[in-house]
Amino acid sequence: MRDREENKMIHRLKNKILGIFIKTAKKIPAVKNKMNQEYAGIMADMEKSLKPYRGKVETFSSLPTKGLSEELILSLIEGMNKNEEKNWKNGKISGAVYHGDKKHIDFLNNVYSIVSQVNPLHADIWPSASKYEAEIIAMTGNMMHSAEAEKTGDLVCGSVTSGGTESILLAMKTYRDMAREKRGIHKPEIIAPVTAHAAFDKASQYFNIRLRKARVDGYFRVDLSHVKSLINKNTIALVGSAPSFPHGMVDDIPALSDLAYLHGIPFHTDACLGGFLLPWVEKLGVAEYNNRIPVFDFRLRGVTSLSVDTHKYGFAAKGTSVVLYRNPQIRRYQFFKVTDWPGGLYYSPTFAGSRPGALLATAWASLIKTGASGYMDSARKIMKAADIIREGIRNIPGLEIMGDPLWNIAFTTGDHTVYRIMEAMNQKGWSLNGLHQPPGVHICATLVHTRKNLAVQFVEDLKEAATYVREHPEDKGHSAPVYGMAASFPDRETVGDLLDVYMDTLYKL
């Protein structure tokens, strides 16, 4: 009963924040003309909801005169952690936590505590770090069929990064620099599906690369004809998802790979979400699954790089990912080197200088602890839960699955009422992802959903939520209108301004 009340309280807080966005969106002209005044009011209201520990846990704006005791510090941290665990331990989430078992978490925490001081920047002091990293890359590359690349004289290599975003950014920076040197391209362009991860937008902004977005077909896979029409002399890379974050669809990677190879353009498979699951689902040998899993890795001659997250279905601690390249000649464009610095020779393979070697150790430990049989078993369980969820959604009147996904399952009502269903699910304790263009909601199945009959509970709760929304059209909800407005409001600059305010508020004491 207490958990239910706490969930309701959290939901009310979220609704309050969203309500502010609704009020603001209705006053767009005022926001345009009196930005500062409006923002001041928004922030004042948002802060109350975004800072639940204010006034409850001591705030430190400067160093305490005397350091606090270890016991008190641990008590403060444990208190906040316990308060937040209820947001995910019940399993009513989409993605976010991919394993969740306490024994596994304790094991990774133990590994981290042993090697917390390790820094790969100082390889002479901690040579274990390069062992961990090299073997993580090799094991991940092996899953991506690195042996096939060797048949063409290539040697798959890579780096461990802080997450999928960094893996993608590094690959795009690599292709920009390679194209500048080898092809003399100074106005680089990338072609990616509109459903590709937002990290490609970030790469575009950070590295001054034009991102050309290709439309998708009725199954939310990239439209090949549109990709072909976008290729020109400035194209430095093509991109495909395996699968995409919004709809869980795997693009036609073989066709994209051939297209890239034909034009002499690098091709990147974004397998951040699927890299540690798709290979094992494929090995299950279930025809229904395999019909939806095209080859996406180094078995394809055109694939020159992949991004694969170890901290998702690899079950490593946050945050680690792997960026793989077909050969070291490509990877060298990723490296940073300074040869004339007074501080000596300086180099770093990724964006960071110092890196947490302990995260390398936890990723390495997770991989060798789970092993091939463990990943196979996890794939089998996750797909079973996903099958229950997918079939359950298909049998709920008014709901339609978007595309033909495997385990990252998106659904829609065809209009903005899907957000009212998401809100109703939120009231039942579920935290799902709202999608835009077109409106939808998705749930990404993980090992968490294979326990406690959660997949069945999700379907039952969703059926009740959809029925309530259908039978109570007068109830517009609190958060649903803002999702609809965000999905359709034409002034994206103003929406961006609101997000700036939101992020500024997060950093306030």
Q: List the chain domain ranges.
A: 2-87+490-506, 127-365
Residues of the chain with pLDDT under 50: 1-3, 6, 10, 22, 24-25, 28, 31-36, 38-39, 481
Three-class secondary structure assignment of 245-309: CCCCCCCCHHHHHHHHHHHCCCEEEECCCCCCCHHHHHHHCCHHHHCCCCCCCCCCCCEEEEEEC
DSSP 88: T
Whether 379 and 280 have beta carbons less than 8 Å apart is answered as yes
Whether 374 and 365 have beta carbons less than 8 Å apart is answered as no
CA distance 53 to 80: 8
- Confidence at residue 52, expressed as pLDDT on a 0 to 100 scale: 82
Rounded alpha-carbon distances, angstroms, from residue 303 to 154, 288, 294, 297, 307: 12, 25, 13, 6, 11
CA distance 434 to 442: 7
What is the rounded radius of gyration, in angstroms, for the C-alpha atoms of the chain?
Answer: 24
- Confidence at residue 301, expressed as pLDDT on a 0 to 100 scale: 96
The arrangement of secondary structure in 127-365, i.e. its CATH architecture, is 3-Layer(aba) Sandwich (3.40)
Whether 240 and 252 have beta carbons less than 8 Å apart is answered as yes
CA distance 273 to 254: 18
Whether 304 and 157 have beta carbons less than 8 Å apart is answered as no
Number of H helices, E strands in the chain: 19, 13
Closest CA to 176 of 333, 352, 305: 333
Please count the residues of the chain: 509
Whether 381 and 447 have beta carbons less than 8 Å apart is answered as yes
Give Cβ neighbours of residue 302 (< 8 Å, ≥ 6 apart): 256, 257, 258, 259, 260, 261, 267
Tokens describing residue 103: 């024994």
Rounded alpha-carbon distances, angstroms, from residue 420 to 462, 495, 503: 11, 21, 25
Closest CA to 316 of 157, 89, 165, 104: 104
Instruction: Count CB neighbours of 362 within 10 A.
Output: 26
- Confidence at residue 320, expressed as pLDDT on a 0 to 100 scale: 97
- Confidence at residue 483, expressed as pLDDT on a 0 to 100 scale: 54
Closest CA to 106 of 377, 317, 358: 317
What are the φ and ψ backbone dihedral angles of 22, each rounded to 5 degrees? -60, -50
Which tens digit of pLDDT belongs to each residue from 197-209?
A: 999 999 999 999 9
- Confidence at residue 143, expressed as pLDDT on a 0 to 100 scale: 97
Tokens describing residue 391: 């079939």
Whether 276 and 309 have beta carbons less than 8 Å apart is answered as yes
